[in-house]
Each structure stands twice: as C-alpha cells, then as structure tokens.
Structure 1
Amino acid sequence: MFRFTAFFFVLVWCGSAQAADDAVAQFKNYLPSDILKLSKEEISKSVPMMYTGAANLATSKGGDLVIQAQLNTLMYDGLANYENAKKAFQADLGEKSTGELTVWQIHTLGYRSARANMTYVSFFSLDYGGVMNEDWASVKGTLQILDERIAYPINNVAITCDRVRATCDYRQVALMLPDENSWTQSYSVGQVANETYRITRWDGNQIDAVPYENTACRTNQLSLNFTTKEFFEIARNNTAGDCETGLGVTLPKLEKPRVSQIVDGGKIADAEFKRINDEAYGFMSNAFRKKIDALNSK
C-alpha cells in the first residue's frame, strides 16, 4: 500500500519553519552586494536560498535584463524606464522607493511575475459518477474533505471494486499548486494514493471497504452508496493517542473522524484557478490596475 499524505509533509516543514522565518526577516533588507560580501560559510549556513538566488541573479551578466522583463510582465515600464519601474514596484510593495532592489524585493518580483504566467490547465479528467452491477462497481470524482481545506484540492479519484476478488483498487492523483514557498512556479501532477481495499460489505447497492494493510497512524474506510450517489472516505485514528511516524514526526490524534466525499470537481478546479488568477491580477502594477478599473467602471 502506498499513500502520500500532504499533511504529513506540512508537519515536517513546520518543524523548521520558525528558524526559516527568522532568517527571512534577518536578511530581508540586504542588497545583493551585501549578501555576496558575506563569507561562503555564512551564506551556506544562514542565508535563505531564495535570497542567495536573488543576489546571484541581480549581479549576473543578464540580471538587469531579467529583472526588466519581470517588471514588464507586471505592467511596469521595465525596459523603457528601468529606474522608475523599480521605484514604482517598491512603492506598490509599501517600501521606500530607492531604486535599489533588496534581495527580498527581487525574490518577490520573480514570484509575482511567474504567478502572472500561470493559466488554467487540465492534466487529467475530472469525470464524476458511479456505476454498479452484480459483480463490479466503479466510482470516479474529486475527493473533498468536509469542513476542512484539502492540501491538494484539484485531484482525481478512481475506485474499481470486484465482488469476486472482494477488493477495491483505489487510485488518486492530484495537481500540485505552487505557492510562494515552492521551488518553481509551475504545476505538477503527483500520485497521492495507490491502494487495495478489502471489501467488508457488498449489500444491494452499497459497498464498504477497508485497507488490507492497517499499520498507519490513521485508517480509512470506503463507504459507497450507488443508490444515493454518495461516496465517502472516512479516516479514523489507528492509535490510542498521538502517533509517532518513522521520520520522527508526530501526527496529532483526530478529535473526530475526518470525512471526505467524492464529488464533481469542476467547480472546485474553477475556484482554485480563479484564486490564482485573482492573486496574479493583484500583483500587477497599481497604475495598470487603476486603468483597468476605470475601463470597467464605464
């Protein structure tokens, strides 16, 4: 059995988040030249990689041209009036308009310009539905955690159940959406789960199933009702208290079962891409957005 749990990796990341945040704040206002004046040891041990990358970019042979292009992407006049474009960008960030970009500003500019190029994409089908006959059943759709936000909202689940074998094959893939902490601003597809479940009930138009391997911190149960078209996955604690993983990360005990439902994912995907597009529009230059708003008000 294989199951990738995004929440688990979030916990791993959180263990060092405070130290990383401190380093980000410490070097935020450094200029590229200030970073490169530090010793190689201090850069390696203390300076966040995003700042090292920003410093190397700004001081490279084509660094200014890259920054000019990034400013142009956000509708600043990076090529026509580089100095004013940098100052306008700093002003929109709420920073002093010095014309000398700090490593944080360079990193933020790169993130924002890359975000502006992200579009609506479709890497896999978001088909939804369930069919069942006497010996075989299938469910497809998007898994949505009820009352919580899932780490990978754009996903596709495919379940195939065989009554003779008394098993359900469960596969889930997800479109990973980058954020400001991602290495690159691009989409990627990852396999979230590939498991075999043991059928515990095949009764009329209902199927229940549990994993064959049941040694994880949490155990899942499939509950599929083909009459009501309600398809649920229920996660419960598999230990009496908090659970220590093999990598030394503790998963807190669930206070109640975590219920997820397989639904039509079209609106979910649309909402996620709209969120990204709205964020990208907010990164455009303030002057450009004022012109767009003026056009829309006419």
Structure 2
Amino acid sequence: MVRIAAFFIALVWCGYSYAADDAVARYKNYLPRELLALPEKERSSSVPMMYTGAANLAVSQGGDVVMQANLNTLMYSGLADYEASKKAFQSDLGEEPTGELTVSQIHTLGYRASRVNLTYVSFFPFDFGGVINNVWASVEGTVKILDERIAYPVNHVVIECERAASRCSYRQIALTLPDENSWTQSYHIGQIADETYRITRWENNQIDAVPYEATGCRINQLSLNFTTEEFFEIARNNTSGDCETLLGVTLPRLEKPRMSQIVEGKDIVDAEFKRINEEAFGFLSSSFRNQIEALKPQ
C-alpha cells in the first residue's frame, strides 16, 4: 500500500504543477521590485513561492554577492564583471540582455548553479541476484519497467520469501532526483513499497506470488525464476474500466499487462547521472562550453 500511496501523491503533485503553470507564466517577467510592490494578498495567494524567494534574495543585503557567486559557478565572470555576466546569462537563456534579472531568471540562475554541484551516488548498483533453498528465498536488485520509463529509476528492491508461511515480503526504496520544481537541489531516499505477497506456487526453483490486499486499481504479481535469474513483476487491471482513486486521481486502464524486471542497477544508475551531468554542462556559460568543445579532438 505504501507504493500505491506514493504513486498517487506523485500524480496529485503533477496535477498541482500543471495548475501552477499559469502563475509561473504570469509572473516570470516581473523584476524583483515589481513583484514585491504587489499587494500582500496577491503575493501570498497567487505568486509562485520560487519567485517570491528570488525577489527577496535580490533585495537582501547579500543578494548580489550570492548571484555573483552563482554566475561564477556557471563559468561567467560574476565577481569580475557582474553587469556583463548578467547580460551574457540572459543571452544564453535566449532572452533580452537587459542586465536586470527577472525573478524567473534569478530562480533559474540559482537552480542551475545548484544543479552543477550534484554528484554521483552509487545506490546499490551491484546488489543483484537471487538465492533459494527448500525453505527460504531472496531476490534483490533494481526494478525496471520494460518499454516504459519508471517514475523512480534509481531504486532498490528486496524480496524475501518463507515457504512455511507461504508469504513474501517486498520492500523497495528509491533515490529521488531533483528537478527545477524541487524545493532544494538535493537527493532524497525514501521507501516507496512495503508489501506482503501470498505465494501461489513454489516448485522447480520458481515462485509465483500475489498481494494479500487486492483492492487497488491494479494487481501486481511476482514471478521469480531462480534457475534462469529472471525476476518479473506483472501489473494487471483490477477494474473493468478506468479506476478513480480515493485521492481523486483517475488511472487509465492498462491496454496490456505492464511488465517490470528486477535487474542489476549499474547501467540504470549510470544513465541517470549521465543525463544529469549532460544537463548541468548545458547550463554553463556558452563561452566556456565553446572553449571546452574546441579542446576536443576533431
């Protein structure tokens, strides 16, 4: 049930983000002084918090120093030539180089400066495999949805099965990677699943199991083959049509069973951090990036 709750919360948050898009677009070009001149009621009820924070930073005693440091982090000459650096940053954003940063540009500057400092996290990439004997079995690894992108690609699952009790425990944690809408540019590790499954078959080094609680929109079946080291999760519809959750989110009916496989996570982890590193490199000053590109062999 923890996994379902976490998934629903993510869906609700996505819906909230889309609803806030209008406010983001409406206030993005405000200068800090213009935003802070708005009535308090409007600022507290309508203005995105990230823009209010950007405006407050700009007018604070050390605001310019922080923004200069952020520009330096992105390889602009923020401390040596603050005005030219602000204009170069605006140009790299594809916006008019006025030298006066809007609240959106200040927020983006802070986000990009924080993003380039994110480091690689190992997160159990080598812990993969299954062990089985006559009374007990265990599987661990990274869950990968086949043919689709998983919401939490950097994850680790541990399944432990007891033959006498005819049950399997399923625990999964995930490393959440921040994006531009995150409150802070830091990682978060959290549990997204803690469930118990009923074993329906245990023979020939194979185990099948289904959840004890089957009241959700979908049913997730475990199919574990220890001889071939193929460990699958199979999600199927549990309703005849689209399913509305208790949180008011409607899950569309699956057109076919959704297959997930528990695999070694190294390639998945490497791919996620490669994506982050490439994104962070793209945030650096275009002048600096051009110099780096010029050093590459032709």
TM-score (normalised: structure 2): 0.97
CA distance in structure 2 between the partners assigned to 1:18 and 1:125 by the alignment:
33
Aligned partners of 1:228, 1:264: CA distance in 2, in Å? 14
Structure 1 residue 202: Cα displacement: 0.3
- Provide Cα deviations, 1:161-208, integer angstroms capped at 9, x if missing partner: 111111111110000011111111100101010111110000111100
Aligned counterparts, 1:263-278, within 5 A: 263-278=263-278
The residue identity in structure 2 corresponding to 1:119 is T
Alignment of 1:84-163 (within 5 A): 84-124=84-124, 126-163=126-163
The amino acid of 2:273's aligned partner reads: F
CA distance, structure 2, for counterparts of residue 24 and residue 220 of structure 1: 38
Identify unmatched segments of 5+ residues in structure 2.
none
CA distance in 2, matches of 1:101, 1:284: 17
Correspondence for 2:11: 11
Count of paired positions: 298
Which letter does structure 1 place at the counterpart of 2:214? N
For structure 1, the residue ranges without an aligned partner over 5 or more in a row are none
1:31 partner letter: L
Q: Which residue of 2 aligns with 1:219?
A: 219
- Residue 25 (structure 1) aligns with: 25
Tell me whether 60-69 or 120-129 shows the greater mean CA deviation. 120-129
Confirm whether residue 297 of structure 1 aligns to residue 297 of structure 2: yes
Quote how far apart the aligned CAs of 1:276 are.
Answer: 0.2
Bigger mean CA offset, 2-11 vs 174-183: 2-11
Contact preservation (8 Å) 2:123, 2:154: no
Once the two structures are superposed, residues 220-258 of structure 1 have per-residue CA deviations (whole angstroms, 9 ceiling, x without a partner) of 100001111110001111111111211112111111111
Counterpart residue type for residue 70 of structure 1: N
Tell me the residue number matched to 2:202. Answer: 202
Are the counterparts in 2 of residues 6 and 151 from structure 1 also a CA contact under 8 Å?
A: no
Kindly provide the amino acid, as one letter, of the partner of residue 190 in structure 1. Answer: G
2:225 pairs with 1:248: no
Q: In structure 2, what is the Cα distance between the partners aligned to 1:4 and 1:66?
A: 41
- Counterpart-to-counterpart distance in 1, 2:65 and 2:38: 25
SS in 2 for 1:15: helix
The alignment yields a C-alpha RMSD, in angstroms, of: 1.3
Identity percentage of aligned residues: 71
Contact 2:124 2:265 in 1 (8 A): no
The range that moved more, 13-22 or 128-137, is: 13-22
